[in-house]
């Protein structure tokens, strides 16, 4: 299983990923001002909060895409904010999965090539990667659409392709930024059902940014980001009622 090889290095081995007192500004705009979040292996955590509160910035810090100005980011007990970019990009490629806001498929590639991309980047041979991609497309109800480019897919189909791409390499952790943002509520629920089922099945930890309480209700735990801080906790069940 994918979670089995997490090394227990320095830090708190009980958490897979951690942000501690993270601050980050874009020019003079503070996006994070002392945000802390710890997520255990196998947890599905929803990040909620108003627009502009710092949710995407926090997710990108945890994922090693952005480097904070202050504070610490750990993955499997290791500092990743102080890691060199080469090592960090290897980590992202081999152990992290992403579903970006608005999907962001590569328009020149077909649906199956988009899904296969993380495997191809990891060195899997093309035939094997496309075969695995086909399995995921089928699983997400997209069989028959393998050869379509993103312009030939509906919003819901493209979002499911992006989800398949995020999960295909069986990442230890999936970072998903408003994965249902462009979908109607029924399609959004189908996407979340698939995401949660796939994550549980392969033991993938999930951090999902959303502003929809119905999406957050799928999570084990919910945190709220406000003014660049993780300001409160509540059980998902309380919010969904």
Ligand X SMILES: Nc1ncnc2c1ncn2[C@@H]1O[C@H](COP(=O)(O)OP(=O)(O)O)[C@@H](O)[C@H]1O
Query: What is the binding site for ligand X (CB under 6 A)?
Result: 26, 29, 31, 49, 51-57
Residue 53, interface with Mg ion (CB under 5 A)? no
CB 50 within 8 A of CB 236: no
Burial of 125 (0-12, 13-18, 19+ CB in 10 A): exposed
Distance of closest approach, residue 223 Cβ to ligand X, in angstroms: 12
Among positions 22, 24, 46, 56, the unique one binding Mg ion when judged by CB under 5 A: 56
Buried b (16+ CB within 10 A) or exposed e, 90-113: ebbeebbbbbbbebebeeeebbbb
Residue with the CB atom nearest Mg ion in the bound state = 56
Distance of closest approach, residue 177 Cβ to Mg ion, in angstroms: 6
CA–CA distance, 43 with 83 (Å, rounded to integer): 25
Q: Which of residues 61 and 163 has its CB atom nearest to ligand X in the complex?
A: 61
Q: Which does 110 bind (CB under 5 to 8 A by kind): ligand X, Mg ion, none?
A: none
CA–CA distance, 71 with 66 (Å, rounded to integer): 12
Distance of closest approach, residue 101 Cβ to ligand X, in angstroms: 8
Residue 210, interface with Mg ion (CB under 5 A)? no
CB 193 within 8 A of CB 228: no
Residue written as token pair 């399609």: 187
Q: Which does 31 bind (CB under 5 to 8 A by kind): Mg ion, ligand X, none?
A: ligand X
Distance of closest approach, residue 211 Cβ to ligand X, in angstroms: 9
Q: Of the ranges 19-27, 54-62, 69-77, 131-139, which one interacts with Mg ion (CB under 5 A)? A: 54-62
Helix 155-167 with 126-139: angle, nearest 10 deg: 130
Tally of residues, the chain: 241
Q: Of the ranges 7-15, 53-61, 106-114, 160-168, which one interacts with Mg ion (CB under 5 A)? A: 53-61
Distance of closest approach, residue 45 Cβ to Mg ion, in angstroms: 16
Residue 205, interface with Mg ion (CB under 5 A)? no
How do beta strands 70-75 and 44-48 pair? unpaired
Q: Which does 86 bind (CB under 5 to 8 A by kind): ligand X, Mg ion, none?
A: none
Q: For residue 193, what are its two tokens?
A: 């059902």
Please give the residue ranges that form the binding site for Mg ion (CB under 5 A).
55-56
């Amino acid at each position: 299983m994918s979670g089995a090889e997490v090394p227990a290095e320095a830090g708190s081995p009980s958490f897979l990923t951690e942000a501690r007192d993270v601050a980050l500004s874009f020019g003079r705009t503070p996006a994070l001002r002392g945000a802390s979040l710890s997520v255990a292996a196998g947890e599905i955590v929803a990040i909620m909060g108003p627009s502009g509160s710092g949710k995407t910035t926090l997710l990108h810090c945890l994922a090693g895409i952005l480097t904070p100005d202050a504070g610490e980011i750990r993955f499997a007990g290791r500092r990743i904010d102080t890691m060199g970019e080469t090592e960090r990009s290897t980590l992202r490629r081999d152990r992290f999965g992403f579903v970006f806001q608005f999907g962001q498929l590569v328009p020149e590639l077909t649906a199956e090539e988009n899904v296969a991309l993380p495997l191809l980047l990891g060195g899997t041979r093309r035939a094997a990667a496309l075969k695995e991609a086909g399995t995921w497309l089928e699983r997400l109800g997209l069989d028959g659409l393998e050869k379509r480019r993103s312009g030939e897919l509906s919003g819901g189909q493209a979002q499911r392709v992006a989800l398949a791409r995020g999960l295909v390499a069986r990442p230890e952790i999936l970072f998903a930024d408003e994965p249902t943002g462009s979908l109607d509520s029924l399609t959004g629920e189908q996407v979340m059902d698939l995401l949660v089922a796939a994550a549980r099945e392969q033991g993938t930890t999930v951090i999902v940014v959303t502003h929809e309480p119905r999406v957050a209700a799928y999570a084990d735990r919910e945190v709220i980001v406000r003014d660049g801080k993780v300001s409160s906790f509540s059980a998902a069940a309380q919010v969904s009622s």
